A and B are shown apart, each in its own frame.
Chain A
Amino acid sequence: DTEVTQTPKHLVMGMTNKKSLKCEQHMGHRAMYWYKQKAKKPPELMFVYSYEKLSINESVPSRFSPECPNSSLLNLHLHALQPEDSALYLCASSPRGNWRASGSYNEQFFGPGTRLTVL
């Protein structure tokens, strides 16, 4: 399996709802990432998990809560979002570990994204 999968593909939620985004990879990668992307802009990094521990939080509001239950799975829990949070949410993974010597330990592979609309 050489891909990153994300569910759902689309999500519409109200500002009082609680929902979760899910990301999965079975490539044995040990780093996973959440990005937010607005239209015609490059992706913005939100969170990084390295060996199942949160290593980077780019000052993301607490209404976004990441979780990494195991090395293959990454969730993003959403609560009390605002309309401006509507965007494409992308998950990515990278190998880590023994790949460092090859210069590609942090090569990132992206999933197809979840299109989130907050009403």
Chain B
Amino acid sequence: KQEVTQIPAALSVPEGENLVLNCSFTDSAIYNLQWFRQDPGKGLTSLLLIQSSQREQTSGRLNASLDKSSGRSTLYIAASQPGDSATYLCAVSYNTDKLIFGTGTRLQVFP
């Protein structure tokens, strides 16, 4: 069964810390992996997409890495800010229209 797990489920850190959010998937034959951010009661904002042939992608203070063989992706957030507080979801695709979502990490960054 194709499953995606995110650890930790919740994280609370002071402003300025560098963070690592983890995403694990059971079937390593992924096509691509997306990281999303969701603010409470809002839609999902696409942060980064990593194709199966890539090792990492960067956007501003965000860096996502992918290790297919071990079934893992990490989202690195540099110099965290209170505005980064949100739920972060990873989702994998197996070359179909279905995204398999992880359980999410709820991040709170306090001043």
* Interface-side segment among A14-22, A41-49, A61-69, A76-84: A41-49
The yes or no answer to A106 lying at the interface (CB within 8 A) is: yes
The yes or no answer to A70 lying at the interface (CB within 8 A) is: no
CB-contact partner of B93 in A40, A48, A56, A106, under 8 A: A106
Q: Are A45 and B99 in contact (CB under 8 A)?
A: yes
Closest approach, in angstroms, between the C-beta of A28 and any C-beta of chain B?
17
B interface bracket (residues with beta carbon within 8 Å of A):
20 to 34
Q: Are A107 and B32 in contact (CB under 8 A)?
A: yes
Q: Are A88 and B49 in contact (CB under 8 A)?
A: no
Interchain pairs with CB closer than 8 A, number: 62
The yes or no answer to A74 lying at the interface (CB within 8 A) is: no
Q: Interface of chain A, helix or strand or loop or mixed? A: strand
Known contacts A33-B97, A50-B97; is-contact A107 B34 (Cβ 8 Å): yes
The yes or no answer to B45 lying at the interface (CB within 8 A) is: yes
Q: Are B31 and A106 in contact (CB under 8 A)?
A: yes
Report A53-103 residues with CB < 8 Å from chain B CB. Answer: 55-56, 88, 90, 92, 94, 102-103
Apart from the given pairs A31-B97, A56-B98, A110-B44, 6 other A-B contacts in the complex at a CB distance below 8 Å: A43-B101, A90-B43, A103-B31, A109-B46, A110-B45, A115-B41
Chain A interface residues toward B at CB < 8 A: 4, 6, 31, 33, 40, 42-43, 45, 48, 50, 55-56, 88, 90, 92, 94, 102-104, 106-113, 115
